[in-house]
Structure 1
Amino acid sequence: MHISVNVDGVTYADEVEPRLLLVHYLRERLGKTGTVVGCDTGNCGACTVHLDGHSVKSCQMLAVQANGHEVTTIEGLARDGKLHPVQEAFHSNHALQCGFCTPGMIMQAIDLLADESDPDDETVRKGLEGNLCRCTGYQNIVRAVQDAAQRMKPGAGPKQEQHSDEHVSSKQPVGGE
């Protein structure tokens, strides 16, 4: 079957088997290996990509269903060598443990933040509940999504990274007060 799909800003025209999953098309045909194959059942969310700006689990979608659509993978987020604010926030908040769930978490978080610009903990957890972290890094992931929400607000400047070995005392003012 012939398909034409725009992936990360590039249009691809291909012949594919009607039963080829989108995740396998992205990884094997296009080399988009940041889209991870986790469970092949849609339970883990590691394969999450955007289809026309909304998150989908690419292991539950056929490549032919993407025909005529725009797909964004984790590789397509950075622009001009600059990471997407959600990618920056995941890095700054140490929300990357083993990294296996990270691409799917980031893609789902971007979709969540498109609808909810200032999510509380419960909103983040509910918004990411279809994505599993096997390392139990949820605290840092929730923190990263909330940080990304702040980074994405108009006029927000870049935040300074705070490394886990740094200690900030709550008794002293921070930022030159």
Structure 2
Amino acid sequence: MLDTLTYAKRLRSVGFTEEQAEAQASALYDAVTSLTATKLDVVEAKNETKEVMVKEFTGVRSEISDFKDSTAEEFAAVRSEISDFKDSTAEEFAAVRSEISDFKEAVAREFAKVRREIAAFKEAVALEFTGVRREIAEIRLALQATNGRVALLNWMAGFNLALTAAVLVKLLT
């Protein structure tokens, strides 16, 4: 962190007036702190990211729950049809066997369809997670860029101080 009191003292020691030293120290402090990310900024960014992720996860969980409920209803309907089918008359037993066979094929097709839907849903969730990860990476890059600018300002301040000191030494000698 920038020690403005020490900086101002150094400026006064090389010939700056107290007003000049304080003004330059204040300006340098303002420049450095205006571009520096605080711990609070980082915490807020993390919290915002966490909120987005929680909302996304909640939405996905809700969709999975809805899917489970609708699948359970479909299975209950299938079971009811099978039960009704078993209660049919003995005279139609041969026809019933044929219908059962057809029904089994339909159920197999439905299972295959449900499996495809689940696979598609998994892919959609994976894409959503990829998007969230990308957003997190972008936030991290933005934070890294801010840190780079702060380092450049620190270097410029040091260079300015060294240059000022060199000019003052040259003027005083």
TM-score normalised according to structure 2 size:
0.18
Q: Which has the higher contact order (CA 8 A, sep 6+)?
A: 2
Q: Which has the larger radius of gyration?
A: 2
Which has the larger share of strand? 1
Which has the larger share of helix? 2
